Amino acid sequence: MIGSWTVGLARHRTGRLLAALAGIALAVALVAALGSFLTASKATMTQRAVRSVAVDWQVQVQPGVDPGAVMSLVRKAPGTRAALPVGFAHTTGFTARVQGSTQTTGPGMALGLPDGYRALFPDAIRTLSGSPSGVLLAQQTASNLHAAPGDTIAVQFPGIGLRPVKVDGVIDLPQADSLFQTVGAPSQSQPTAPPDNVVLLPAARFAALTRGASAVTTQIHVARDDARLPSDPAAAFTAVTRAAHNLEARSAGAALVGNNVGAALDSARQDALYAQILFLFLGVPGAVLAAALTAAVASAGGERRRQEQGLLRLRGLRPRQITALAGLEAALIGLAGGLAGLGVAALTGRLAFGAASFGAGAGTWAAWYSTAFVLGAAVAAVAVLVPALRDLHTVTVAETRKESGARSTRNPWWMRYGLDFALLIGSWLVFRASSGNQYALVLAPEGVPSISVSYWAFLGPALLWIGAALLLWRLTLLALTHGRPAMARLARPLTTTLAGTTAATLSRRRRPLARSVVLLALAVSFALSTAVFNATYRQQAEVDARLTNGADVTVTEPPGARVPPGAGSALKISGVRHVEPLQHRFAYVGSDLQDLYGVRPDTIASATSLQDAYFAGGTARQLMRRLAERPDNLLVSVETVNDFQLSPGDTVNLRIQDARTKALRTVLFHYAGIAKEFPTAPKDSFFVANASYIAKATGSDAVGVFLLDTGGTHQKQIATRLRSQLGTSATVSDLTQTRGTVGTSLTSVDLAGLTRIELAFAVLLAAGAGGLVLALGLAERRRTFAIATVLGARTRQLRGMVLTEALLLAAGGLAGGAVIGWALSEMLVKVLTGVFDPPPAALAVPGVYLTLTGMAALIAVLAAALNGVRSARRPAVEELRDL
């Protein structure tokens, strides 16, 4: 019997089985693909964080402690791959006599590097000119002294005077901030910038020059064995933090560890947690939707399944046997759909990422695939077996001969109790609480191994998604119940005299039709919200890179350089459309030292983008106009406005260094607006003022930065040519370089891959939700069409009935999906504010992708309708015989 039943299902219910199998396959493939990719992405984050660090640990030897003893302790520490001692000595100044003039600088640092240092830590030093070994001068120091390889400079050490050295090369220190950190001090008490003047010396030369000097210390620079770290950034952070603390404990106070790799992993673990949140926010709804699609496909054949069950009961089959047959169908769908889903996931990984595992380890990859398969089997059981068991115990044999509409006309319980309205109100309340000023979705205290997520914020989008779906269901039922006259008028062009019959049929079938509309709307909303979120994130990542770099290409002059605005003409090489000078000074407001930027209000927007979201108290154009109309106007950062309780028009006295006397002088400004962000400015406290007013008040129009507009193209090539032209006299950075620097691992790895998977599945879900359910519903109504044909309905009228239902489904689903998707997008972007830096002024809408999704859903619906029309053309007698 079981064999005959299986063969009968495969031969006569092929369409229904394949449709349910497709829904299971989508759910399994989405969970397997996203889970495997999430795991692989976390491992990639860990690798990227570790590779971004030049020196893993800087172990500071405490005064009076033997460096050799600390070195021995470090080398014996678990995980240490290699370690070298580095000498640090403070200098009181540098001098150089070049081309008949003597140049001097302020205090700085001298480092003594042992042999093999650059081979062990290749990313710590970058050679710009001259020899890669010997006495190496930092780029800014070389610029300050006008020194080049081959010149002789003098380094003044406290207590022993000047020591001459010959410069062998000029270098750059890419990670100077961490190299010159105060080991053991909290980050908020670290110096705001590394020293301007630095010289690197061979260890023997350093020891000879600093003999007798004070303020000489030793650090042990350590390279760790990264292969031993866990793949998850949070676990890796915990491991390296514990190892550092263990070393400090075993040294008994003789050493402090500057944990650079731990700091990098600290940032990566937060990115990893955001990736996990995005998986939940954007991936889980897709899996739920695929499961709902399977349930809808199964319920589309529920009427026939009940009739078959009633026939089996009449023929004497016991409940246990009927349950076994239903379980067989569920197992067949679950097994075949699960295997197909795993195959789709593996194919997706192979095509998009080069490996079926998506780059994850064997254990985690297999775990996610197994979990997805089990979930697929569970969905099959819920969609097929549970309804069969329910009907077996609650529906009599006589009731199985009636249509579902005749059995119950009562509204669902959730409509009677207003669950949809309650969910939407709850969503709004949670959203208000989770988007407040002091709210943080991810809390990662600095230096603390554990991080926490406010998971209750997930309730807002989840309740909105469910509540909006139920509300759309309610509205569709109301429209189909009370809108028969309107539906008849709309159907008349397609069905002529059967318009009333068509409207009555749609009203009678309002429940399955409402379910189909809601399913299509949810699929469309999933695609829309995912696509908008992804596009908005990419937009803001580009905005962040442009804010950091300032423009397509930026030329930064060294501190203290007296470069006039006219020097920008030499930078206008081929490919550069505009060169904009930007002053960068420092000013005291009270006792607080802040960055001061002098701009040319009329032309600043020609080289860089100034969005209205960067400002408050007016648009970007309005505030630039205020600076132009009244030169003493001042734009102030939000933090300074709050700290000093400023109101528009208030007088602000800034103390700025006079270029002639070198003394601080008070300059009067008037508070005119807020600058929340500004190109090249820090994220906290700064001022923006009129460059001509600053130049007049300080006696200098010296430029700190030149912003170059290249039209958004060839930035890297233009920057390379300018570096060759300027040498070591200025620093050149381009947008492509900065984009890779400021982009987090979440930006450059996870979000792009995550959304590629989701967007592809979203199109399939929209097409499936639009076409599969309609096609199966039409297939189940072949008897109705055959009877209508016997009663005299023409093929054109039947085609009109089918197309009317299809167009109603497409219009309701697409419109409802657009509204739900827009609301979800707004909520997701607001709740996930921590992902965006800076927050977006407006959502980015990927029109091409959304058009593709809408067209896929519409084509699927029309294809299902046309197939239903083709089936309706069969001779009525032949159709009734088959049924």
According to the per-residue pLDDT averaged within each range, which of 352-356, 600-604, 730-734 is highest?
Answer: 600-604
Whether the pLDDT of residue 797 is over 70: the answer is yes
Supply 537's token pair.
């994130």
For 420-465, the pLDDT digits (tens) are 999 999 999 888 877 765 556 665 554 455 555 666 777 888 899 8
**Consecutive H or E run containing 669:** strand 664-675
- Which residue matches tokens 């370690």? 83
Torsion of CA 558, 564, 567, 569, to 10 degrees: 130
Mean pLDDT calculated for residue range 401-416: 64
Per-residue pLDDT at 32: 85
Which is nearest to 604 in space by CA: 585, 633, 578?
578
Query: How sure is the predictor about 671, in pLDDT bands with cuts at 50, 70 and 90?
Result: very high
Comparing 794 with 670, the larger pLDDT belongs to 670
Query: How sure is the predictor about 791, in pLDDT bands with cuts at 50, 70 and 90?
Result: low
Q: Rounded to whole angstroms, how far apart are CA atoms 838 and 544? A: 6
Q: Rounded to whole angstroms, how far apart are CA atoms 96 and 200? A: 16
- Which residue matches tokens 């301007």? 196
Question: How many percent of the chain have pLDDT more than 90?
Answer: 25
Q: DSSP labels for 554-620?
A: EEEPPTT----GGGGGGG--TT--EEEEEEEEEEEETTEEEEEEEE-TTTGGGTS---GGGEESS-H
Query: How sure is the predictor about 742, in pLDDT bands with cuts at 50, 70 and 90?
Result: low
Who contacts 689 (Cβ-Cβ below 8 Å, separation ≥6)? Answer: 596, 597, 598, 599, 627, 633, 634, 635, 669
Beta strands 664-675; 651-657: pairing state: antiparallel
Beta strands 592-599; 578-589: pairing state: antiparallel
Per-residue pLDDT at 11: 60
Per-residue pLDDT at 450: 55
Per-residue pLDDT at 658: 86
Supply the mean pLDDT for the chain: 81
For 329-367, the pLDDT digits (tens) are 778 888 888 898 888 888 877 776 677 776 666 677 788
Strand partners, 705: 556, 582
Beta strands 578-589; 651-657: pairing state: antiparallel
Q: Rounded to whole angstroms, how far apart are CA atoms 162 and 286? A: 70
Whether the pLDDT of residue 410 is over 80: the answer is no
Query: How sure is the predictor about 581, in pLDDT bands with cuts at 50, 70 and 90?
Result: very high
Mean pLDDT calculated for residue range 490-497: 83
Q: Rounded to whole angstroms, how far apart are CA atoms 71 and 59? A: 9
Mean pLDDT calculated for residue range 694-698: 92
Query: How sure is the predictor about 876, in pLDDT bands with cuts at 50, 70 and 90?
Result: very low
Query: How sure is the predictor about 614, in pLDDT bands with cuts at 50, 70 and 90?
Result: confident
Question: How many percent of the chain have pLDDT more than 70?
Answer: 82
Per-residue pLDDT at 883: 46
Strand partners, 671: 634
Q: Find out whether 457 and 443 touch, Cβ atoms under 8 Å.
A: no
Q: What are the backbone angles phi and psi of residue 198, rounded to the nearest 5°?
A: -140, 135
Supply 688's token pair.
């923006």
Q: What is the DSSP letter of 157?
A: E
Strand partners, 156: 93, 162
Q: In Å, how far from its chain's centre is CA 189? A: 31
Which is nearest to 514 in space by CA: 813, 772, 294, 762?
813
Q: What is the DSSP letter of 312?
A: H
Q: Find out whether 250 and 78 touch, Cβ atoms under 8 Å.
A: no
Supply 265's token pair.
């992993």
Strand partners, 198: 109
How distant, in Å, are the alpha carbons of 550, 586, 609, 636, 678 from that of 595? 15, 5, 20, 11, 11
Per-residue pLDDT at 80: 92
3-state secondary structure 693-762: HHHHHHCCCCCCEEEEECCCCCHHHHHHHHHHHHCCCCEEEEHHHHHHHHCCHHHHHHHHHHHHHHHHHH
Per-residue pLDDT at 709: 92
Whether the pLDDT of residue 664 is over 70: the answer is yes
Per-residue pLDDT at 877: 47
Mean pLDDT calculated for residue range 168-187: 82
- Which residue matches tokens 């997008």? 825
Per-residue pLDDT at 476: 92
For 552-563, the pLDDT digits (tens) are 999 998 776 788
Q: Rounded to whole angstroms, how far apart are CA atoms 126 and 132? A: 8
Mean pLDDT calculated for residue range 466-495: 89
Who contacts 120 (Cβ-Cβ below 8 Å, separation ≥6)? Answer: 82, 84, 221, 223
Q: Rounded to whole angstroms, how far apart are CA atoms 472 and 519? A: 10
For 104-153, the pLDDT digits (tens) are 888 899 999 999 999 999 999 988 888 999 999 998 888 778 888 999 99
Per-residue pLDDT at 306: 64
Helix (H/G/I), strand (E/B), else coil: 120:
helix
Helix (H/G/I), strand (E/B), else coil: 404:
helix
Comparing 72 with 305, the larger pLDDT belongs to 72
State the Cα angle at 213 between 210 and 219, rounded to 5°: 65
Whether the pLDDT of residue 853 is over 70: the answer is yes
Helix (H/G/I), strand (E/B), else coil: 307:
helix
Whether the pLDDT of residue 840 is over 70: the answer is yes
Q: Rounded to whole angstroms, how far apart are CA atoms 187 and 185? A: 6
Helix (H/G/I), strand (E/B), else coil: 95:
strand
Whether the pLDDT of residue 293 is over 80: the answer is no
Specify the pTM. Answer: 0.74
Q: Rounded to whole angstroms, how far apart are CA atoms 878 and 320? A: 35
Supply 497's token pair.
């005299």
Mean pLDDT calculated for residue range 833-842: 70
Per-residue pLDDT at 630: 92
Q: Find out whether 825 and 734 touch, Cβ atoms under 8 Å.
A: no
Query: How sure is the predictor about 490, in pLDDT bands with cuts at 50, 70 and 90?
Result: confident
Q: Rounded to whole angstroms, how far apart are CA atoms 19 and 768? A: 9
For 217-252, the pLDDT digits (tens) are 999 999 999 878 888 888 899 999 999 999 999 998
Per-residue pLDDT at 745: 52
For 883, other C-beta atoms within 10 Å of its C-beta total: 9
Is-cis flag, bond preceding 838, omega within 30?
yes
Helix (H/G/I), strand (E/B), else coil: 653:
strand
Q: Rounded to whole angstroms, how far apart are CA atoms 749 and 308? A: 52
3-state secondary structure 224-256: ECHHHCCCCHHHHHHHHHHHHHHHHHHHCCCEE
According to the per-residue pLDDT averaged within each range, which of 347-356, 436-445, 620-629, 752-761 is highest?
Answer: 620-629
Burial class (CB in 10 A: 0-12, 13-18, 19+), 608: buried
Per-residue pLDDT at 48: 82
Q: What is the DSSP letter of 483?
A: -
Residue ranges covered by each domain of the chain: 80-224, 445-549+742-883, 553-709
